[in-house]
Structure 1
């Protein structure tokens, strides 16, 4: 190997031939866009993934989510991805009861929990936007297809074992009957990390029996990772057939590691590389994992393929190895030049197309940008590229046996690759709200485009549906007016079932503990003194075996379960009253002040595999006497199990405290429970209650809105409030044999539940 100094050699650029411009014969036009718009990422939010709507008499499927202070935002599934992060990774439980998961005990799985867990996606389904009067029976959710790297199992956790609801493994568990006006949660298990596509349909009938069917939608769940990352792919050139100056190129596109169960979509760009210069030959769409293109590249050099995914959030891009161009070079040229090198990386350069000249040897001429040129003999050149060679031009002089100069290749340039700047932190712009049967749009500003509300109240000042002029009716002031009255013992309402929540309110500057009563369908805040909650035979259940539940003692207990059950009051607590939500500084504290009764009380939740979860408060050993309840902009809504250890009458004093409107406030109230085989009427006591009613300045009756103290709260459900239920949330969960039945944290007499199919 000889290196010779050759001053001014960089000026000798005798070009013996110019490569022909590449011409694509088939495929989309170069530069055509491929990546679709970014999806809204839901990773820690409360969402009803499968949400059913009745839009102008038509059944439709979408998604709803609580986003910040915005509750029940309607989203298009095609523009949404549900991210189940590694914070949801759990070890699969032991025991045969969970054998249906199909993984070994202790194997890692990802679980969307049935119970709300901060920092983890909380997904359910919802039919609250379908009036019961509009349908002739339950709505059947059908899982039509599941594609992903593993299995998906959706089930309820109970101390009598898990109750499977939907499964990708078992085709007999592909549909679920859900009554109208229902909001439910269960555990979702994904057995492998990756991207899952779940296609769901919804169907029911009209009251007259005519079929109603929603257009099926596909819901995308990305499982694993702390942030949303694209699944790596690979592309390789599988075929290169030359003929008459053209080359037929075929590229295979697939997953770099674990198969995802579905083929990545996008396009492949075929590229010709010669002398460090890359020229696009054309694009071809990927179909069934393959892309094909016929092109007319210049002779010599190399060809390679680049895969560009349609969904760059979910699917990674890839570049193939460069392979020799099957179209031979007709003029001398340098091959093997990369567009950019890392500092110290070796450039491996070679010659092709020189055979026609009959050259006996080649002399490489390297001309650094700021130094003297140097030469090296040989048919190949291997050189480490550093800063001194950044921008260097390289040619190869071809000589005969006697040293006669036969010609010289075109110059190529060695360049260092530009330093990569750190990627900016990902941002998530507010999502578009999906209007009925139309795609959501996000303008360049990223501000959401709200969906039109199909129900515009008269006199609201909103534009008419046809876009006509607005009409405004002068508002009449409705004043909250306190009315104090005595509720006699015989007038107390005995509650045997239905949804109620304890919660703090502010009335006349004081914190008053009230009960939000949802049983009639119209939510009303009531005084606890007006109610007796009766836990009868339907609430009686045996204490489960196991040390975890030893705090309940032995025998039986009477329990308000984690999920709504016919014949049992369903009591939770919330911080959603408009005088509290968005006005509290920090959380509110719910305190069990005292329990006057024949036994003990324990209030707690379950984990995803049926064990004891959070211990909220109680009088049993090991339980605290208070729990912190978040508030935030919209408040939260929590359900737990209330277990009483003995029959009798209980008077339970609870209190809420916190800082509201800048002032420390607190208040207490007494809840009365008639537990077991006792007369609930005998538990009733006369009490003085204060109601707030609406009155105009003229003394006429009027209806208070939800923002006024003591007024009705917006209707319960994801559509109108942030829910942080620790279990199944919503209306009638037992109609039509629906399996979303009691998830009591305590056992019951052995019996199995049969889900609606």
Structure 2
């Protein structure tokens, strides 16, 4: 009888502990939608996950390359985007809420990115718009050449509608013009396909004008403005938050000397150098590499030849070579970038770019694409006869593709200096020379996507800044499964612990009862 009662009490105790454990489990929280209405977004981000094609959204607003399920994000198009510039486009002919293909501060800059599909052996990707709904029309198109427009859909229409398809023939990062004819909530169901493989179907919500609040979205969902990496909500990130490698070769930088941390120590031991190191982000492979500009030269072949309808700066109308604002197969697509994680972490404010040297057999003209109906937006740099001039400011956490125009064949060297200031107000700068082989048959980069940017390197003065040499990667592998790694306790930690104590208590009770029964 005593043995029976002991076993019964032990079982009841265990059941009670298990019930208490489950009582501690909080309700599962549903993901709150994130509203993005400013900054860089790859709305259609196509990757290969576990051998399967995957479609999600990637943004550089809350951090660097943060990924989300499309359903967890609201794409906001603010009233600031409203313009009558689209009345000049014959297929539109009316004012719209307009998001240009060149980044404009204060409004969203959406595009798409298929570069990572090469990891799965894919190349051509098609974006299928299974449904497009909303209170008005949606238009997607590019500015082609110098001042023209062209469709990006396979049917040649500027209107994006149910059944539209956009074919991205090569892995690329691409932006286009978006226009919405009326305010309200628009939804798109999109699926990506490549070589017979199909991705998940993702639903995108766009809220246009009128405060940019979705009809059925959580009203408490926050609008997000650009922040440094790690400052936003949880997501996956492709890049390390603070790589502190430096550079060797042609790059130079400004040195800062920190105060001596240890009293009596030699002053030379307390020096700390912080440098802005120019880098080229090479997207010809995934993940990308940030490499020394001296290790690469850009080859402009016949694919870059164009006929200018008008003079551009020092370059007369007629034959020329050009890297355009949109990607062209067989031409290296060179942009500028102020998005390196270390730059965002250790500096404040924008980055000033100045052309400080130029040589070549002809002339150079660098400018941003003009708005609809205009050829030139803003002049950046020009070079002619060994004389260089031009300065521009590139906004923090930005990615811009200007037009680079060369008047004729030959080897050109373009020296550019980037300047910013550290978080403590100390100025910092770095200089590098870009080499362009124009129509010469030389050069080692004749295709693909590149960005000229910079990183911040820290270390004791006199150390080799980049022990890995030119081309050292500063991009970490992606987290698995689209989530941040779990490095702490979860909501189940306490219940599991209590359950474990219950099991131990039951075992101890049974052992004690069995021994006592033998004593009896």
User: What TM-score range do you get, normalising by the shorter chain?
Assistant: 0.5 to 0.7
Structure 1 CA distance, aligned partners of 2:86 and 2:78?
19
C-alpha contact 2:152 2:158 (8 A) present in aligned 1: no
Contact kept in structure 2, 1:650 and 1:674, CA below 8 Å:
yes
Query: 1:537 touches 1:677 (CA, 8 Å); kept in 2?
Result: no
Matching residue of 2:379 = 615
Shift of 1:165: 1.8
Q: Does 1:163 align with 2:156?
A: no
3-state secondary structure, aligned to 1:123: strand
Structure 1 equivalent of residue 136 of structure 2: 150
Structure 1 equivalent of residue 16 of structure 2: none
Other-structure match for 2:207: 222
What aligned pairs does 1:710-725 form with structure 2 within 5 A after superposition? 711-714=472-475
What secondary structure is seen at the aligned counterpart in 1 of 2:303? helix
| 1:428 and 2:222 correspond | yes
> Which residue in 2 is equivalent to 1:90?
83
* Unmatched segments (≥5 aa) in structure 2: 1-29, 226-230, 256-271, 445-465, 481-520
Aligned counterpart, 1:116: 103
Alignment CA distance shift 1:214-1:67 (3 Å)? same
1:560 correspondence with 2:323: yes
- Could you say if the C-alpha distance between residues 133 and 624 of structure 1 is closer, same or farther in structure 2, counting changes exceeding 3 Å? same
Taking CA–CA contacts closer than 8 Å with sequence separation of 6 or more, which of the two structures ends up with the larger relative contact order?
A: 2
Root-mean-square deviation (CA, aligned residues, Å) is: 4.2
Count of aligned pairs between the two proteins: 395
Q: Structure 1 82/579 Cα, relative in aligned 2: closer, same or farther at 3 Å?
A: closer
Does 2:49 align with 1:80?
A: no
Query: Is it true that 1:67 corresponds to 2:61 in the alignment?
Result: yes
Q: Is 1:202 matched up with 2:187?
A: no
Correspondences of 1:713-752 after superposition (within 5 Å): 713-714=474-475
Distance 1:505 1:538 in 2: 39
Task: Answer yes or no: is the 8 Å Cα contact 2:43–2:111 preserved in 1.
Answer: yes
Call closer, same or farther: CA 1:610–1:568 in 2, change over 3 Å: farther
Change (3 A) 1:74 1:519: closer
Q: What does residue 352 of structure 1 align with? A: none
C-alpha contact 2:291 2:473 (8 A) present in aligned 1: no
Structure 1: segments with no counterpart, 5+ residues: 1-35, 206-210, 232-309, 314-425, 432-445, 456-477, 488-501, 682-701, 720-757
Q: For residues 610 and 599 of structure 1, do their structure 2 counterparts lie closer, same or farther at Cα, with a shift above 3 Å needed?
A: farther
Distance 2:337 2:70 in 1: 29
Task: Classify the secondary structure of the residue corresponding to 1:580.
Answer: helix
Give, in angstroms, the shift of residue 204 of structure 1: 2.9
* C-alpha displacement of 1:229: 4.6
Instruction: Please list, as runs of the form range in 1=range in 2, the aligned pairs for 1:242-257 lying within 5 A after superposition.
Output: none
Measured at CA, do residues 42 and 558 of structure 1 come closer, stay the same or move farther in structure 2, by a change above 3 Å?
same
Distance 2:39 2:284 in 1: 27
1: CA distance, partners of 2:160 / 2:276: 52
CA distance in 1, matches of 2:172, 2:316: 35
CA 1:479/1:627 → structure 2, altered by over 3 Å: closer, same or farther? closer
Task: Sort the Cα spacing of 1:483 and 1:188 in 2 relative to 1 into closer, same or farther, 3 A.
Answer: closer
Question: How far off is 1:89 after superposition?
Answer: 1.5
2: distance between equivalents of 1:430 and 1:172?
30
Q: What secondary structure is seen at the aligned counterpart in 1 of 2:346?
A: coil
Structure 1 residue corresponding to 2:411, chosen from 649, 652, 658: 649
Deviation at 1:572, TM superposition (A): 2.5
Equivalent positions of 1:370-449 (< 5 A) are 428=222, 448=233
Distance 2:392 2:234 in 1: 39
| Residues 663-702 of structure 1: pairs in structure 2 closer than 5 A | 663-676=426-439
What whole-Å deviation, never above 9, does each CA across 1:138-163 have from its counterpart, x for those lacking one?
23211122211221121111136322
Contact kept? 1:429, 1:447, Cα under 8 Å: no
Structure having the higher Rg: 1
Distance 2:252 2:186 in 1: 39
- Give 1:542's match in structure 2, choosing from 292, 307, 318: 307
Greater fraction of residues in helix: 2
State TM-score, norm by structure 2. Answer: 0.64
Q: CA deviation at 1:46?
A: 1.4
CA distance in 2, matches of 1:450, 1:654: 35
